[in-house]
Chain A
Amino acid sequence: MKKNYHTYQVSDFIEDKDFMNWLAHPDSTSSKEFYEVISSNKDTLQKAENAKAILLSLQYKNLNKSRNKDKIWSSIQNDISTTKGKSRRLWPLIAVAAASIGFILYFTLFRPEIIIEKSQLAEHRLIRLPDDSFVTLNADSEIQYDKTSFAKKRRIQLKGEAYFQVKKGNPFSVETAQGEVKVIGTSFNIYSRNDIMNVSCMIGKVIVQFINQQNAYTLNAGMSVSNANNTITKSNFNIEEHKFWRDGYFYYNNESLVQVMEELKRQYNIKTLNYTNNLLHYKYSGFFKKDNLNEAIESVFLPLKLNATFENGILSIKE
């Protein structure tokens, strides 16, 4: 944490995002970090507590007195359809007929058919999409798409991590909680977990749009972009040498140890991770493999001089 909270006044805390986050989610890891920093000085802690008291007193009553939520919505729908310029009143019969035909058509031909594909912990899955594109799901991941409209609009929602091999054709896009990736026909990987999105392009070209960012990022083959640590970083990698999770390799370049441990947990179906808060600031560079848990544990924790033991599905890490 770069901010010097010890110079903060009460009003500075009230304007601070980490402070607000601490109030809203006191149990999150970032809040624990925040509390650790401010509680190291009694004065700072007192000021933060004062700021907390002020904000907690500002609890607004709910003045949502309206019972007309449905009524107002029908008026809105009415207004909207008149701006569309339909004169239903003149042709009530035709309208009814057209509506029922539309209704039948919709339910027979155009009804959305949402397909959800999931992978379990420790499982990788290859999925064939209706257009003959392929998606490989990493462990504990999920995609979702509408089969009916897929031929026209290839749009997929992703949670977790997946590798895409896209057949050339209509625009293809992947939405995640952190943004959107648009493609023309290519192979690429998306990692999207815990507020972090990392996109690597292997063949062709993709356009990455992060939510909360004005600029879009265009990636050619061998480039990747990530929003880890709250900054957008674009970097190059060697496609020939680069092995990915699909080959059983998990690479990290100065990334948070917690992120690495979470991946270990997913890949080896570990029940519980047991570690203390002082591991939160550790960074890891290197890789682990998916075939042998003991080796994987060694390659992650040995270089960091951490003590790791695995027993009864629980991985415990100590300094």
Chain B
Amino acid sequence: MSLVNKESLVWNRLRSGEESALKALYLEFFGNLINYGNRMTVQHELVEDSVQESFVEIWRLRETLSPTDSPKNYLICVFRRILIKKLQSKKADFSEEILLSEADSSADFLNGFIDLENQSEIQKKLHKAMDQLSSRQKEAIYLKFDQGLEYEDICKAMDLQYQSVRNLISTGIQRLREQLSSWIIFMCLLSTFSVVSAF
């Protein structure tokens, strides 16, 4: 909690025009934005350019910014908007051929989970189930559970209604739950079977 609070004080310093506050936000959230961007597209230069523009933009608008307890949420919104705009205009420049392959890579949100060496079967199953979710579901779940955004902030970032964000996340979680419960039933059967066969 105290971290978040520190951030909102930094945000206030930015609003009053302190460049050091901008740098503090940059150092703190650079990784978050790059991480997020690299899941949206494989064109890493576009991601870096968008990060740069995001910070220039909040500096330009510093006097009109309102107080927030999470500068990160604000940055994520601005960053996503800029990146998507870049991806769209880039697509328009290309020939149809490239456009098709581009459309694929940028329309599919990359989960990119940690592959633990001794990954359990159930984890593999859950990851597989996660990869089958729609791109928007993946993005919403990523924003909620990796970046720690609240529903309201995901709405703002993804430009969606509150209910649709909830639906995206809860149907996603529902799928994972189905995987998990079938696994648990399977394990129960297996253990009863081995007990029976031991006799």
Q: B91 near A: Cβ within 8 Å? A: no
Q: Are A57 and B170 in contact (CB under 8 A)?
A: no
Q: How far is the CA of A22 from the CA of B141 in the complex (A)?
A: 20
Q: Are B146 and A60 in contact (CB under 8 A)?
A: yes
Q: A64-B35, A66-B44, A211-B8 are in contact. Are A79 and B52 (CB under 8 A)?
A: yes
Partner of A10, one of B30, B145, B177: B177
Q: How far is the CA of A80 from the CA of B123 in the complex (A)?
A: 46
A-B contact count (CB 8 A): 103
Q: A14 near B: Cβ within 8 Å? A: yes
Q: A54 near B: Cβ within 8 Å? A: yes
Q: A178 near B: Cβ within 8 Å? A: yes
Q: Are A58 and B180 in contact (CB under 8 A)?
A: no
Q: Are A53 and B122 in contact (CB under 8 A)?
A: yes
1/0 per residue A149-178: CB within 8 Å of B?
A: 000000000000000000000000001011
Q: Which residues of B contact A180 (CB under 8 A)?
A: 9
Partner of A50, one of B35, B44, B180: B180
Q: B26 near A: Cβ within 8 Å? A: yes
Q: Residue on B with the closest CB to A180?
A: B9
Q: A59 near B: Cβ within 8 Å? A: yes
Q: Which residues of B contact A62 (CB under 8 A)?
A: 31, 35
Q: Are A64 and B56 in contact (CB under 8 A)?
A: no
Q: Are A60 and B26 in contact (CB under 8 A)?
A: no
Q: Residue on A with the closest CB to B4?
A: A211
Q: B173 near A: Cβ within 8 Å? A: yes
A21 to chain B, nearest CB (A): 10
Q: Are A211 and B177 in contact (CB under 8 A)?
A: no
Q: B132 near A: Cβ within 8 Å? A: no
Q: Residue on B with the closest CB to A211?
A: B5
Q: Are A73 and B23 in contact (CB under 8 A)?
A: yes
Q: A59-B113, A61-B113 are in contact. Are A53 and B34 (CB under 8 A)?
A: no
Partner of A177, one of B5, B26, B59: B5
Q: Are B181 and A73 in contact (CB under 8 A)?
A: no
1/0 per residue A254-280: CB within 8 Å of B?
A: 000000000000000000000000000
Q: Which residues of A contact B1 (CB under 8 A)?
A: 177, 195
Task: Tell me the chain B residues, 110-161 only, with Cβ under 8 Å from chain A.
Answer: 110-115, 122-123, 126-127, 130, 141-142, 145-146
Q: Which residues of B contact A75 (CB under 8 A)?
A: 52
Q: Are B180 and A54 in contact (CB under 8 A)?
A: yes
Q: Which residues of B contact A76 (CB under 8 A)?
A: 22, 26, 52, 55-56, 59
Give how many B residues have a beta carbon under 8 Å from the other chain's beta carbons.
50
Q: In terms of DSSP, what is the predominant structure of the interface of chain B?
A: helix
1/0 per residue A175-189: CB within 8 Å of B?
A: 101111000000000
Q: Are B34 and A66 in contact (CB under 8 A)?
A: yes
Q: A63 near B: Cβ within 8 Å? A: yes
Task: Tell me the chain B residues, 1-39 only, with Cβ under 8 Å from chain A.
Answer: 1-2, 4-6, 8-9, 19, 22-23, 26, 30-31, 34-35, 38-39
1/0 per residue A46-90: CB within 8 Å of B?
A: 000010011101111111111011001101100110010000000
Q: A72-B52, A76-B55, A79-B56 are in contact. Are A57 and B122 (CB under 8 A)?
A: yes
Partner of A66, one of B48, B59, B60, B114: B48
Partner of B5, one of A53, A58, A178: A178
Q: Residue on B with the closest CB to A66?
A: B34
Q: A212 near B: Cβ within 8 Å? A: yes
Q: Which residues of A contact B123 (CB under 8 A)?
A: 57
Q: A68-B48, A72-B52 are in contact. Are A57 and B126 (CB under 8 A)?
A: yes
Q: Are A63 and B174 in contact (CB under 8 A)?
A: no
A81 to chain B, nearest CB (A): 9
Q: Residue on B with the closest CB to A157?
A: B9
- The 22 listed contacts between A and B (C-beta, < 8 Å) are A14-B173, A50-B177, A54-B126, A54-B176, A54-B180, A57-B123, A57-B127, A60-B114, A63-B34, A64-B30, A65-B38, A66-B48, A72-B51, A73-B23, A75-B52, A76-B52, A76-B55, A80-B22, A83-B56, A179-B5, A180-B9, A211-B5
Mark B residues whose CB is within 8 Å of A: 1-2, 4-6, 8-9, 19, 22-23, 26, 30-31, 34-35, 38-39, 44, 47-48, 51-52, 55-56, 59-60, 69, 110-115, 122-123, 126-127, 130, 141-142, 145-146, 170, 173-174, 176-177, 180-181, 184
Which 7 A-B residue pairs are closest in the complex by CB-CB distance?
A: A63-B38, A57-B126, A61-B112, A177-B2, A60-B146, A79-B56, A59-B114
Mark A residues whose CB is within 8 Å of B: 10-11, 14, 50, 53-55, 57-66, 68-69, 72-73, 75-76, 79-80, 83, 175, 177-180, 195, 211-212
